Every structure is written in C-alpha cells, then in structure tokens.
Amino acid sequence: MAKLPWHNELTAALAERKAAGRYRQNRLRIGEQGVHIQLGDKTILSFCSNDYLGLAAHPAIKQAFKQAVDKEGVGSGAAHLLTGHSFYHQALEEKLADFTGQQRVLLFSTGYMANLGVIDGLLTRGDAVIQDKWNHASLLDGGRLTDADQLRYPHADMSLLHKRLHNAATAKHRLIVSDGLFSMDGDIAPLPEIMALSEQHRAAVLIDDAHGFGVIGEGGRGTVSHYQIAADKAPIVVGTLGKAIGTGGAFVAADELVIETLIQQARSYVYTTAQPPAIAAATLVSLDLVEKEQWRRDQLQQLIQQFRQGAEQLGLELMPSMTPIQPVIIGDDKKALEIGARLEEQGILVGVIRPPTVPKNTARLRITFSAAHTEQDVDRLLVALEQAYAH
C-alpha cells in the first residue's frame, strides 16, 4: 500500500517505544491453551493466561462446541436483530439471567463491545459518567464515545468519588463505572460503598466483572455475590465469557428496561454480527461446570496462598490481592523485562506489564493462576523467581 503521509512520525514513535522497553509483540502459541503451552519450539509453564478455572480446553465444552457446529454451522450469518439470534443464544441469555439473578441478559461479541455499548447506549449530552482511574480501557473508551461529561476519581477513593458526584450534581443522569476485580492489581472494588454513594446521589452503577465472574462469589457469580448484594439492589453488570468461563463473548445483566434500551440504542450490539452459535452452546456447558465444580475455586485459593507465602519469604513486593491476579512490583521497566526474560529462560512465562498500562514506576510481573496449576508448578515458579532476582 502507499505510505501514510505521517510515515516518518510513526516510525520515530515506534523506535522511541522500543528504546523505552515498551514495545508490544504477539507470541505464537501452538496447540491448546493450558498451563503447559507450546511457544515456537519450546514447552513453557504459563502463568499469564486468564483461563482461571482451567476450562478453555475442557473435553465436555469442546464436545458441545463440535455438536453445535454440526447442527448450526459455524457463523451466525447475521446480527442478532436480523437472523443471527439462534436457539443457543437465547438459551444462554436465559441461563445467565438465572445465574446472575437479574431480570434479563444481553449477549455481546466481546467484553470490549459490551462496555462500549452499555455506556453509549444509556448516556447522552447532559449526563455524567464517573469512573475509577484504573478502569479497563474499554470502559474509558465507552465514556469517550458518549456526549456525557467525563469525570474520574483516584483508584477506589470513595471520598473523591463522593466529591465527583457532588461536582456532577447538575447532570441529568449520573453513572458510576468501575471494574469489579481490577485486572492489573487484582483487588476488588469497594462495591458496598459505591452502591451507598449511588443511592445518596441518585446515580446508577455499572460494574465490569470481567475478571471476577466465575472466580469470586457464590458459585462464581462474581463481585455482586462476593459482597452478598441482593439482586434487586444490584448494579448493571458486564461479564465476559472468554476468561474464567473458557469460551468467548460477553453479556450485560440488568433489568428489563435497561436491556430493552440497549437493544434499541447500543450501537456495538445493533451493528455487528452475532457470535457463532457454537460458542453459546459451549458456554451453556461451561456454566454448569462453573457452578457445580467448587473445587476449581478452592484449588485456586490454595495455590494463591501457597504463592503469597513463598513470595513473601523471598522478599518480593506483592499487592494486597487474594485473587488469581498476583502482581509482583519491580518498578523499573527494563528491570521488569530482564526478570521476565530470565524466567522464560527457565521455562516459565509471566506477564511483564509496563506503563502506560500501569502507572509510571510500577512496572511489574503479572502472575495469574489457573485451577489447572499444581502445587509443584507453584514451587517451580518460586524457585525460578529466586534465581531470576539473584542475577
């Protein structure tokens, strides 16, 4: 193709990013997702997936997918509002509504699209969206798509959330938006306090439970269940199905009015092809496993406790997280990359996260656990960390 008129500017920007140690690249995995994966010609012990319950390659889920492909084909062939909404999609929406305790659920193709759609579909000029500064990029982008006023508060700072709500008092409608389980620090949003402020200021609440759904709460029902908030008091919830659930897509769970409004006004729902029906069929089976197999969440907690005890003995700087997301703070970008590379030399893969994804001077190893890991895997990780830090 012809060169972009700003070709030289992009080339310089990429070179600058490389020099700063912040250049992103794909890694080619061969074969199934799991704790032992094939990267090129190497077999790696992975601690950087979001397959928290170890369901991504579960035989029963794969079988459900295959059977649905034989019955329904591969592509849905249309948007939900045309002819793309299959029996499996409908069954999954009903099952998710029952699972979450909400009146209705609406399926989206991805979590990113769900977050864009619910914010843009509910807010307009004269409204205000108030967001935690550490919210996922899709939530922040969803706010930017609207004509609503944008306000942000420091992470989990309820006194400043109160102040932002006071500053937005003249807005026609106010929506507080927060991650449920934050993806970089692994902490859980103070949802009871958020809900109390929402009642005080007559605001609505949206929780993106991408990393909490399936992992925390009764039967894996997420952040709302974790805090034992009654269904009739619950916020709007976005959940993803490609992480702990092991399949793909996302949903919005809310009351009848909100869902019907999104069907009319959420552009990322209306103007896109529905996810393949086989994904929905596989998710129906996965949800049964999520609810019934509590041992997966119990296993996760045991592994997390084992890791934290060992990491503290090594003197590593941890965050106060008891979730599968366990950050180890390094600080310097290049040092974090070096430690990550030393771990990979020992056959262990972890996420190395640098600014701008996280704040400056908080570059970190982002270690994530799966119920498919073993105690021996964690022991191996701890030994490798000790050796990587010793260089």
Inter-residue contact 61 to 282 (CB < 8 Å): yes
183 is in an annotated binding site: yes
Q: Which two tokens stand for residue 134?
A: 């550490």
Supply φ then ψ for residue 221, to 5 degrees. Answer: -80, 0
109 is in an annotated binding site: no
* pLDDT by 10s per residue, the chain, length 391: 999 999 999 999 999 998 887 888 898 899 999 999 999 889 999 999 999 999 999 999 999 999 999 999 999 999 999 999 999 999 999 999 999 999 999 999 999 999 999 999 999 999 999 999 999 999 999 999 999 999 999 999 999 999 999 999 999 999 999 999 999 999 999 999 999 999 999 999 999 999 999 999 999 999 999 999 998 899 999 999 999 999 999 999 999 999 999 999 999 999 999 999 999 999 999 999 999 999 999 999 999 999 999 999 999 999 999 999 999 999 999 999 999 999 999 999 999 999 988 999 999 999 999 999 999 999 999 999 999 998 7
Angle 24-30-36 from CA coordinates, rounded to 5° = 90
Residue 334 falls in the annotated catalytic set? no
Quick one: pLDDT at residue 20?
Answer: 82
**Among 3.30.565.10, 3.90.1150.10, 3.40.50.300, 3.40.640.10, what is the CATH number of 25-53+294-388?**
3.90.1150.10
The H helix count followed by the E strand count for the chain is: 14, 13
Residue 183 falls in the annotated catalytic set? yes
170 is in an annotated binding site: no
Catalytic residue among 183, 268, 286, 370: 183
- Residues 279-296 pLDDT 10s: 999 999 999 999 999 999
27 is in an annotated binding site: no
- Residues 285-344 pLDDT 10s: 999 999 999 999 999 999 999 999 999 999 999 999 999 999 999 999 999 999 999 999
- Residues 347-371 pLDDT 10s: 999 999 999 889 999 999 999 999 9
11 is in an annotated binding site: no
Catalytic residue among 89, 211, 226, 373: 211
CATH topology of domain 59-292: Aspartate Aminotransferase; domain 2 (3.40.640)
Residue 276 and residue 286: Cα distance in Å, rounded? Answer: 16
Q: In sequence order, what are the residues at sequence separation of 6 or more whose Cβ sits closer than 8 angstroms to the Cβ of residue 161?
A: 130, 153, 176, 194, 197
Quick one: pLDDT at residue 15?
Answer: 96
75 is in an annotated binding site: no
111 is in an annotated binding site: yes
End-to-end CA distance of the chain: 46
What's the predicted TM-score (pTM) here?
0.95
Which H helix or E strand runs over 175?
Answer: strand 174-179
240 is in an annotated binding site: yes
Residue 243 falls in the annotated catalytic set? yes
Catalytic residue among 243, 268, 286, 373: 243
CA 43 → CA 14, 29, 35, 125, 173, distances in Å? Answer: 30, 10, 10, 52, 52
Domain boundaries, the chain: 25-53+294-388, 59-292
Residue 326: left if φ>0, alpha if ψ -120 to 50, beta else—which one? beta
Quick one: pLDDT at residue 59?
Answer: 98
